[in-house]
Amino acid sequence: MLPQPFREFHNAVLVVTAPGLDERQKSARRQLGDGNFEFVFGINKNATSKDDLAARGIYDEQRAIEIDRRHKSMTLGHICCSFGHREAYRRIIENRFERTLIFEDDVTIFDVEETAIREILAAAPKDGDLIYWGWSGVERKPWFGSMKQYLYNIQHAIGLLKLDHTMIGNLYPREFNQHFLIAGRLFGAYAYSVSLEGAQILLDWNTPIVQNADNALMYARLKGDLHAYMSRRKLFGEHSQGVAGSIESLVQS
């Protein structure tokens, strides 16, 4: 069941899914509780194709390849997943929700006492356009981090790296307060809060779709377009990573 403090902290709770993913939607209901959220439906990858999405102006393959650090196009599953997140941003903007909690439909809730959750939420950054409640990545700058950034800056200067100097400077988390860090390079879009302003930035960033949902979050943060933070304590996980039983990732379903 979604803890009450999270319901009080947000104007809305949205779960990204797709038509036909009945078992995943049952899982979301079991985890979060009926009536505590609304589904946002994207596109089932079995009902479309990359050519169709490109022809409709939903996906820009040329731009996706230009942005990708390995010069690869997006998979159909990732495009459909990104479309679902983009629909969530549209819902937020249409309804003028000031703060929204977004999940993917394989989310799982960690067992954390309600008093601890309230303490964490009380310390949440007031300017947080994006707050990660679950994530994959580093929690602190490693001892060799500065050298790595130095080498990355050289690589970018001679045209070997697509990350620019601003993005390189934002690669690693920085201190904020007892419960939050300023986010660095993180992966995962299965549990995060977004502000109304943040939703507009992310909608603009991935229209047409050119990045995986979590990469869009990450790149917008690294570029400095968003004030992004991460909870030091992970409060949510995802079934597809084996946290609470096996289930396919949303991009595979």
- 171-204 tens-digit pLDDT: 999 999 999 999 999 999 999 999 999 999 999 9
Number of domains present in the structure of the chain? 1
Is the residue at 159 inside a domain? no
Is the residue at 205 inside a domain? yes
Structural domain of 232: 4-138+173-241
Q: Pairing mode, if any, of strands 12-17 and 174-175?
A: unpaired
Q: Pairing mode, if any, of strands 180-182 and 174-175?
A: antiparallel
**Residue 249: predicted pLDDT:** 60
User: Has residue 233 got a pLDDT over 50?
Assistant: yes
pLDDT digits (tens, 9 = 90+) for 70-108: 899 999 999 999 999 999 999 999 999 999 999 999 999
146, amino acid identity:
S
**Residue 241: predicted pLDDT:** 59
**Residue 239: predicted pLDDT:** 84
CB-CB neighbours of 85 under 10 Å: 29
Is the residue at 151 inside a domain? no
**Residue 244: predicted pLDDT:** 45
Is the residue at 162 inside a domain? no
Residue 110 in contact with residue 236, Cβ under 8 Å?
A: yes
Q: Would you call the peptide bond into 208 cis, given omega within 30 degrees of 0 as the criterion?
A: yes
**Residue 243: predicted pLDDT:** 47
211, amino acid identity:
Q
Which three-class secondary structure state does DSSP give residue 71? coil
pLDDT digits (tens, 9 = 90+) for 11-56: 999 999 999 999 999 999 999 999 999 999 999 999 999 999 999 9
Which CATH number fits the domain that encloses residue 99?
A: 3.90.550
**Residue 69: predicted pLDDT:** 87
Is the residue at 163 inside a domain? no
DSSP structural state of residue 160: S
